[in-house]
Amino acid sequence: FLVWLIAHQKLSSGEVLQKRYPNFCLSPHWCIMCKRSEENLNHLFLHCSVAGNLWSKLFSVVGLRWTTLKFLWSFFMEEFQALGGGKKASILWRCGLIATIWVISEERNRRIFNEVEEEVSFLWDKAHYWASLWASSSVGFKDVSLFFILLDWKAVTC
């Protein structure tokens, strides 16, 4: 559902909330994650330094070089050849994309509502875990344990 909201630009970022509630006191020109830029979906999930660090880590783990995309929907339109291709690679790559988006969204909400910030390394560990867990639950990974997926994505997709 989160990915659908993002793909259809319906997620309540500062920019969207300001348009819906123009008299509500918001600061759409301030990203809660990096505290430097306007909070819109492309910034929050792509251009923010916190998101960029997570994407860089994901791309590094799967053997790709991270270059910032201009628009978030590009992730859903592009076919990245990560982890060497194949069914398992495709499953794990998509789980990695969605888990990273999930962790960014979850961290944004934690910072807004709980006023607590996690370190990027901890956020990556969470994204890595969620992606591995979701992949292990798929039919494509029925013969691979979660432990081995967590240990080495490249090895389990060969």
- pLDDT tens for residues 130-154? 999 999 999 999 999 999 999 999 8
Query: Identity (one letter) of the amino acid at 72?
Result: L
Q: How far apart are CA 101 and CA 46, in angstroms?
A: 10
Query: Is the pLDDT assigned to residue 25 strictly greater than 60?
Result: no
Token couple for 121: 């390394």
Most confident of 16-25, 46-55, 67-76: 46-55
More confident residue, 50 or 65: 50
Mean pLDDT of 48-67: 89
Residue-level pLDDT at 76: 64
Residue-level pLDDT at 43: 86
Q: How far apart are CA 59 and CA 67, in angstroms?
A: 9
Query: Is the pLDDT assigned to residue 96 strictly greater than 80?
Result: yes
Query: 70, 120, 58: which is closest to 94 by C-alpha?
Result: 58
Can you state the angle between helices 49-61 and 87-113, rounded to 10 degrees? 160
Residue-level pLDDT at 23: 61
Could you tell me the pTM of the whole model? 0.84
Q: How far apart are CA 125 and CA 72, in angstroms?
A: 22
**Buried b or exposed e, range 83-108, using 16+ CB within 10 angstroms:** beeeebbbbbbbbbbbbbbbbbbbbb
Residue-level pLDDT at 124: 97
Q: How far apart are CA 155 and CA 105, in angstroms?
A: 29
Mean of per-residue pLDDT scores for the chain:
83
For residue range 34-45, what is the model confidence (pLDDT) as tens digits?
888 877 888 888
